[in-house]
Amino acid sequence: MATLSAPHAIAEGAPQAMELPAAVRAFEQQRIDTIARVAPAVVCILDAQRSGGGSGVLIDADGHGLTNFHVVAELLATRRGFAGLSDGSLYPLEVLGIDPTGDVAMVRLRSESPLPYVELGDSDTVRVGDWALAMGNPFFLAEDFTPTVTLGIVSGVHRYQGGTSENQLVYTDCIQVDTSINPGNSGGPLFDSAGRLIGINGRAAFEERGRVNVGLGFAISINQIKRFLPTLRAGHQARHGSLGATVTDAGFQRVVFDVVAAGSPAARAGIRVGERLYRFDGHTIHSANQLLNWLGTYPSGWPVTIECGSETARRTLRVELAPAPTDLIDGYTFDDAAIGEPVATSNRAARLRASNSFSSVIDATLPSIVKLYGAGVATVHGYGTGVLVSEDGEVVTTLSLLLETPDLRAVMADGRVWRAEVTHRDPTRQLALLALRANEPATPDGLVALPLGSSTAMTPGHWVVAFANPFKVAEGDEPVSVLKGVFSARVPLDARLRAQPFPYRGEVLVVDAITSTPGSPGGALTDLDGRWVGLLGEIVFSARTNTRLNYAIPIEEVIAFLREARAVDPAAAASKPIVATAGPGYHGIHLFALGYRRKLPFIDRVELGSPAEQAGLRRDDLILRANDTPTPDARAFTRVCETLGPGETLILVVKRGDAVMTIPILLREVPR
């Protein structure tokens, strides 16, 4: 797939307008027309005091609309609020049915005339790489209720996002997008490129920088919502279904029932503990997460089929789901849910076969991307990404604390898990080469190396695609996340004063895809032909501007690293971590021994009564500079300390949480 470009035409010394290909103009106009058509149905939801609270979308001319439950939760005492449309009109709003488990609610705008609405799509036909439009009112930017529009691609489908805290909801079968989703977008629509509603925007991933988009948003799939529409229209509280049984992973792509409650739907159907689960309502089940994902999309009372049994004898059972345990909502009660049939969608088969602009590169690249799980300490996350560079199981990734463990694991795109060993490190380029190991004498097979490309052939404006596992979104055997972006510039990386010290000082490829996130380092950056053009680098953070650089190390540097790594004896290349020692002057600081010489000087312990304790240093403080010298690793810190004697002052710049502070330490004689 070739990228489109056109040279500037120059006549008589004056630049003229660049002529874009007709196909590009047609696609652009189609997008503009689609936005104009659906924008009038996007709702800004306000409380009784007419303060901003979230977004929604109308799905019929009678004013019925969808939003998130968490957007209207504070309106439940009265069920009343207000809603603004893009023409500036304000309407009374009533909350009808709610689905707290699925984070969905139905509202109705009161109007004497028909209202604009959108067409429901088919989220089962959505593919990774499809264009995705989000609309809503983030940060309540438009007081005239004109919705904000953001454009991105689908990064993952059928994602299961479990809640990790009391304010983070469980989302099943959700659509992951790199479309910008920010506070205020909650409850707003996610459209496909034709303007069909494919989801309701809800959760997004945020980290460190406050509630600002970091490239991972999640929408509740419209096909899940369709099953609950009759309940929501009737003003009831929806109840999700339960089998009354749980499953567990029992080997590669093998799932068995481990608990079957007495009297449950599963028990009444004859399901027994220890039986293998093969399919749930037509969906092949390879992991326990997959069952949770699909089960969470069905209402109580819904009939499903279960294919289970032994390795030699399978049977298909029909089970009617029971109500799942649901927390009661304080101060408000809903009637039992009614059950409705799913809405039929035409041309599903045709759309299931359809491709998109990014599908060929995505399909070709995903088998070469590896999820890595290893060491994590303090603010350093214990997961990342790697790229297969040979069919023998060689993987290249970034040099990080993640690798400093004997229990380093690599998860392939098909869910297979291998042990991984570091065979070569390059502290200057911040790259590492791994070798995958299986239980002897078996060796990894069926591995696909990513084809090498050339970063020098790219010019600013070319599309690029990033493959990585940010925020450990793909925790099981799901594919990694895919983000689209544009190559912005090729610049030297020079992380200086007031920025995170960083050893690499070569050129990098700056992109506008959000790749500077936990878990992304070590991922691949490709062009639209699927050629590997760069490796996503370690996070570079500026404390002064509170920003991060989205970049990749050019593939030419990776190739040079691979040549050098393969020319070195792996046994000689592996160095052993050393234990921190104080210099002539005593400070009382002990750093984490894990990966001591190679990465991030975090404080593990401060001796009681030492100069460091008296100065206020704490465990988990990260030392950024020592006497105005960057300390990218513990060895650099030790070198500075060795030059200072008793009575001299060691001035440290440390990062504690989100704060950066300067702490002077008066060194003493080493205690005896």
Q: Is 64 among the catalytic positions?
A: no
Type of residue numbered 486: V
CA distances from residue 329 to 163, 237, 370 in whole angstroms, order as listed = 18, 10, 42
Q: Are strands 322-323 and 303-309 parallel, antiparallel or unpaired?
A: unpaired
The number of helix segments (H) and strand segments (E) in the chain equals 11, 42
Run of H or E residues at 262: none
Using an 8 Å Cβ cutoff, are 545 and 523 in contact?
Answer: no
Residue 462 makes CB contacts below 8 A (sequence gap 6+) with 3, 5, 486, 487, 527, 528
CA distance 540 to 428: 15
How open is the CA angle 102-105-109, to the nearest 5 degrees?
165
- Structure tokens given for 667: 């060194």
CA distances from residue 537 to 147, 301, 508, 541 in whole angstroms, order as listed = 35, 49, 9, 12
Please classify residue 566 by burial: count the beta carbons closer than 10 Å to its beta carbon, then call 0-12 exposed, 13-18 middle and 19+ buried.
middle
Type of residue numbered 339: I
Catalytic residue among 64, 70, 158, 381: 70
Using an 8 Å Cβ cutoff, are 384 and 376 in contact?
Answer: no
| Cross-strand bridge partners of residue 370 | 386
Tracing tokens 């979308």 back to the chain, one arrives at: 57
| DSSP for residue 254 | -
- Structure tokens given for 403: 């690798």
**Backbone conformation region of residue 270, classed left if phi is above 0, alpha if psi is from -120 to 50, else beta:** left
Using an 8 Å Cβ cutoff, are 314 and 307 in contact?
Answer: yes
| Cross-strand bridge partners of residue 237 | 98
- Structure tokens given for 189: 């629509």
Using an 8 Å Cβ cutoff, are 374 and 403 in contact?
Answer: yes
Radius of gyration of the chain (CA): 28
CA distances from residue 166 to 162, 169, 445 in whole angstroms, order as listed = 11, 8, 43
Q: Is 103 among the catalytic positions?
A: yes
- Structure tokens given for 162: 């479990």
- Structure tokens given for 181: 């989703």
Catalytic residue among 155, 186, 242, 368: 186
The residues carrying an active-site annotation are 70, 103, 186
